[in-house]
């Protein structure tokens, strides 16, 4: 499994004045692009919704009459619909209808763990490491109730690591199951755990009030405000002052005298909220996640899924080559495709732009970045203009500015004029003036459009470029 590089042995703990929001909080539908796929009539009926997945491209919601629906990308069957087809139309989950949803957690395997208000637990999705808690390693495309060792227990909170699961009961007990290569189930060994078992050790006589999972670690807050952690610690995410793994629960000594109310985990970092409204953060910081203003964009978190034939449900055919993409993502991220894609589309033949341009555009939808030479960025700027992607236009202009040289300056200037990119046009013009002798000797200048040449000479004359 891929992990972020470990930091120094000494864990840096920072106090941040902010408000910690639970990762499992039911969300305001108006803030999430996935709901643009629903009609206004459907949106009016939503009483409760939980957006999940690696990039918020899956949603489970309940209506006013307790019907449960899912929508979005369906990686490894994480929608629970009985198949692996992504959907842009809401699909009903019959097995959960009539049950009031209390909480839901998503593991990046991917798998889903859900608890009802009655305390029942349902799981579905990927199960190669028994993270569904049903005693097998068989994947499940439908929600199935987990009952082993949870009979007569009311589950009030759930949490998922990448391939392990954890639940909290109303009497303050913690149960875990699934992948355990780093001790993340807290059993004291590294053997996988196929069914729920209570976490004891230091938690044996303590009442837990909150739980959370990182990718391969687990955490619990007890009623007196202490925090106990276990599992993988290569990035210092356990906050123990070292980077060694921890196979059983261990109290964070650095928080001595601080009363914690809630804990939340990222991929390899941790946040806790104290009773005084302060946040402590520790662990990996490669994306600035320990600072309040920096964040990893939603699109960047989808990067691994780009051009993946195993999960994609649509192919772009460009210049005889295929690019694998997700239809749902195109509809969420691009107004142009939202209006032209049909549910039965499997292959879309594109011919207006070149293969490098289309591939760069699709990669941009996944990563929010572009990687291509400035000459190809001209074509991408054309596409961005046509598709009305204003942010992409700005990125193209930045790429062109960074890649401009004497040989391509005239071509880039021509593109800026053509696409009415005034800031870029002025930049290219200034570059040409500052390198006028070399630029006027290039092939691009010799083949310059007559009207553009006349305007260039006129403007250059006005700024004194031809003075002796």
Buried b (16+ CB within 10 A) or exposed e, 170-189: eeebbbbbbbbbbbbbbbee
Q: What is the DSSP string of 361-417?
A: HHHHHHHS---S-HHHHHHHHHHHHHHT-HHHHHHHHHHHHHH--TTTHHHHHHHHH
- Which domain CATH number covers 376? 3.30.710.10
pLDDT digits (tens, 9 = 90+) for 43-53: 888 988 988 88
Q: Which helix (H) or strand (E) holds 46?
A: strand 46-52
11 neighbors 239 (Cβ within 8 angstroms): yes
Q: What is the DSSP letter of 4?
A: P
Distance in angstroms (rounded) separating the CA atoms of residues 119 and 258: 31
Q: For 8-17, what is each residue's pLDDT tens digit?
A: 323 323 232 2
Residue 395 lies in a domain: yes
Task: State yes or no: pLDDT of 36 exceeds 70.
Answer: yes
The answer, yes or no, to whether the previous bond of 75 is cis (omega within 30 of 0) is no
The confidence score (pLDDT) of residue 17 equals 24
- 3-state secondary structure string, 220-236? EEECCCCEEEEECCCCC
Do 60 and 157 sit in the same domain of this protein?
A: yes
Residue 378 lies in a domain: yes
**Same-domain pairing of 220 and 87:** yes
What DSSP assignment string belongs to 253-280? Answer: GGGTT--EEEEEE-SSEEEEEETTSEEE
Distance in angstroms (rounded) separating the CA atoms of residues 51 and 426: 44
- Any domain includes 467: no
Residue 299 belongs to some domain of the structure: no
Considering only CA atoms, which of 205, 203, 212, 200 is closest in space to residue 238? 212
Residues 273 and 360 in one domain: no
Of 234, 266, 283, the residue at which a domain comes to its end is: 283
Q: How far is CA 261 from CA 200, 224, 389, 413, in A?
A: 21, 9, 43, 58
pLDDT of residue 4: 38
Same domain membership, residue 54 and residue 162: yes
DSSP string computed for 14-26: EEEES-PPPTT--
Tokens 């629903």, located at residue = 38
Angle at 90 between CA 87 and CA 95, to 5 degrees: 105
Q: Could you say which of 265, 283, 301 is where a domain stops?
A: 283
Q: Could you give the CA distance from residue 6 to residue 268 in angstroms, rounded to a whole number?
A: 9
Same domain, 260 and 383: no
Give the CATH number of the domain where residue 175 resides: 2.130.10.30
In a domain, 394, yes or no: yes
Q: In terms of domains, do 120 and 253 share one?
A: yes
How many C-beta atoms lie closer than 10 Å to residue 144's C-beta? 17
Alpha carbon 158 to its chain's center: 20
Q: How many domains is the chain partitioned into structurally? A: 2
What is the residue-averaged pLDDT of the chain? 86
Q: Do 320 and 174 fall into the same domain?
A: no
Residue written as tokens 């001790």?
A: 183
Tell which of 241, 265, 283 closes a domain. Answer: 283
Q: What is the distance between the alpha carbons of residues 17 and 89, in angstroms, rounded to a whole number? A: 41
Residue 253 has pLDDT above 80, yes or no: yes
pLDDT confidence tier of residue 430, bands split at 50, 70 and 90: very high
Q: Are residue 133 and residue 277 in the same domain, yes or no?
A: yes
- If residue 151 lies in a helix (H) or strand (E), which one and from where to where? none
pLDDT in tens, 328-366: 778 777 888 887 888 788 899 998 899 999 999 998 888
pLDDT tens-digit series, residues 215-224: 999 999 999 9
Residues 341 and 225 in one domain: no
Q: Is residue 289 part of a domain?
A: no
CA 307 from chain center: how many Å? Answer: 16
6 inside domain: no
Quickly state the pLDDT bin for 301 (edges 50, 70, 90).
Answer: very low
* Closest to 108 (Cα-Cα) out of 59, 53, 157, 55: 53
| 108 and 221 co-located in one domain | yes
Are 176 and 320 contained in the same domain? no
Residue 149 lies in a domain: yes
Q: Identify the bridge partners of residue 49 per DSSP, sorted by sequence position.
A: 61
Q: Which two tokens stand for residue 143?
A: 């929600």
Question: 166 and 80, same structural domain?
Answer: yes
Find the domain containing 342 and state its range.
312-462
Local structure of 88: helix, strand or coil:
strand
């Amino acid at each position: 499994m891929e992990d972020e590089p470990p930091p120094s042995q000494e864990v840096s703990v920072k106090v941040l004045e902010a408000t910690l929001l639970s990762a499992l909080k039911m969300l305001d539908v108006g803030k999430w692009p996935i709901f643009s796929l629903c009609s206004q009539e459907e949106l009016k009926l939503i009483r409760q919704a939980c957006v999940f997945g690696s990039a918020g491209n899956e949603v489970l919601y309940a209506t006013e009459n307790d019907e449960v629906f899912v929508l979005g990308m369906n990686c490894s069957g994480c929608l629970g619909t009985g198949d692996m087809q992504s959907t842009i139309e809401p699909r009903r989950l019959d097995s959960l209808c009539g049950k009031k949803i209390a909480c839901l957690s998503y593991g990046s395997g991917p798998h889903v763990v859900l608890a009802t208000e009655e305390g029942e637990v349902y799981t579905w999705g990927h199960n190669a490491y028994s993270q569904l808690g049903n005693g097998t390693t068989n994947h499940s495309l439908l929600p199935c109730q987990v009952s082993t060792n949870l009979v007569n227990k009311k589950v009030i909170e759930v949490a998922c690591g990448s391939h392990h699961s954890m639940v909290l009961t109303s009497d303050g007990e913690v149960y875990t199951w699934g992948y355990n290569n780093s001790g993340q189930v807290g059993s004291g060994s590294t053997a996988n755990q196929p069914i729920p078992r209570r976490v004891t050790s230091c938690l044996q006589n303590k009442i837990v009030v909150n739980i959370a999972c990182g990718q391969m670690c687990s955490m619990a807050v007890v009623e007196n405000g202490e925090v106990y952690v276990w599992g993988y610690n290569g990035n210092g995410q356990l906050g123990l002052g070292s980077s060694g793994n921890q196979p059983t629960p261990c109290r964070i000594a650095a928080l001595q005298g601080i009363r914690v109310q809630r804990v939340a985990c990222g991929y390899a970092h941790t946040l806790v909220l104290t009773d005084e409204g302060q946040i402590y953060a520790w662990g990996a910081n490669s994306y600035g996640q320990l600072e309040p203003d920096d964040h990893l964009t939603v699109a960047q978190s989808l990067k691994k899924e780009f051009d993946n034939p195993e999960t994609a449900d649509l192919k772009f055919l460009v210049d005889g080559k295929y690019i694998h993409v997700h239809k749902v993502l195109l509809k969420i991220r691009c107004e142009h495709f939202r209006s032209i894609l049909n549910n039965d589309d499997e292959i879309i033949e594109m011919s207006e732009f070149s293969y490098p341009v289309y591939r760069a555009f699709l990669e941009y939808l996944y990563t929010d970045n572009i990687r291509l030479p400035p000459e190809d960025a001209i074509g991408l700027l054309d596409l961005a203009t046509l598709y009305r992607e204003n942010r992409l236009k700005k990125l193209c202009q930045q790429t062109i500015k960074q890649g401009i040289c004497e040989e391509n300056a005239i071509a880039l200037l021509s593109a800026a004029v053509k696409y009415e990119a005034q800031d870029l046009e002025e930049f290219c013009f200034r570059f040409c003036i500052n390198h006028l002798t070399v630029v006027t000797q290039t092939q691009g200048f010799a083949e310059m459009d007559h009207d553009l040449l006349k305007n260039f000479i006129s403007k250059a004359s006005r700024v004194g470029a031809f003075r002796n």
